[in-house]
Structure 1
Amino acid sequence: MLTKETILHKIQILITKQFETPEDAFAFFDKNGDGKLSKSEIVKLLKQAEISGFVRGLISRRLIEGYDKDGDKLINWEEFKSAINEINE
């Protein structure tokens, strides 16, 4: 199983290579424009970050559990930014 650090590192690589800013990445993956990333939107982000298809669903659930501070089972911009800040530490 991939470690949290490996997953966050792959997400960081994706964001820095393909997007100008983390805000651009968030907006790109927020397909319905509601200001929140759903599990399916996070799965697409993980696919772009080259996370194996077998574990994407599990990882997306764990990311939501780990960063969803308001309990709505979605990742909003502030929660996404928290994950990005953890990557950059």
Structure 2
Amino acid sequence: MASKKAIIKKIQIVLTKHFDSPQAAFNFFDKNGDGKLSKAEIVKLLKEAEISGFIRGLVGSTLISGYDKDGDGEINWKEFKKAIAEMAKDID
């Protein structure tokens, strides 16, 4: 199983290589345009990051449980920004 650091690095690569900003990445993966990332939308981001299918669901659930501060089961833009900032700290 990939380490936390390896997963975070893969996510960062997708966000920095393919998008001009975290906001652009968020908007791209927010397929229904509701201003939130559902677990399915997060799993698509993880697939883009080449996280194996076996652990995408686990990582998606972990991201939601760790960063969903308003308890709605999704990640809004504010929560996404916080997650990106914390991931950047974890990789340094």
Q: TM-score range by the shorter chain?
A: over 0.9
Aligned pair 1:67/2:71, yes or no? no
Alignment-derived partner of residue 50 in structure 1 = 50
Percent identity, please. Answer: 66
- Give runs of ≥4 in structure 1 deviating > 4 Å: none
Runs of 5+ unmatched residues, structure 2: none
Alignment-derived partner of residue 77 in structure 2 = 77
Alignment-derived partner of residue 6 in structure 1 = 6
Alignment-derived partner of residue 22 in structure 1 = 22
The whole-number CA distance in structure 2 between the counterparts of 1:66 and 1:2 is: 18
RMSD of aligned C-alpha atoms?
0.9
Deviation, structure 1 residue 20: 0.4
The whole-number CA distance in structure 2 between the counterparts of 1:88 and 1:57 is: 22
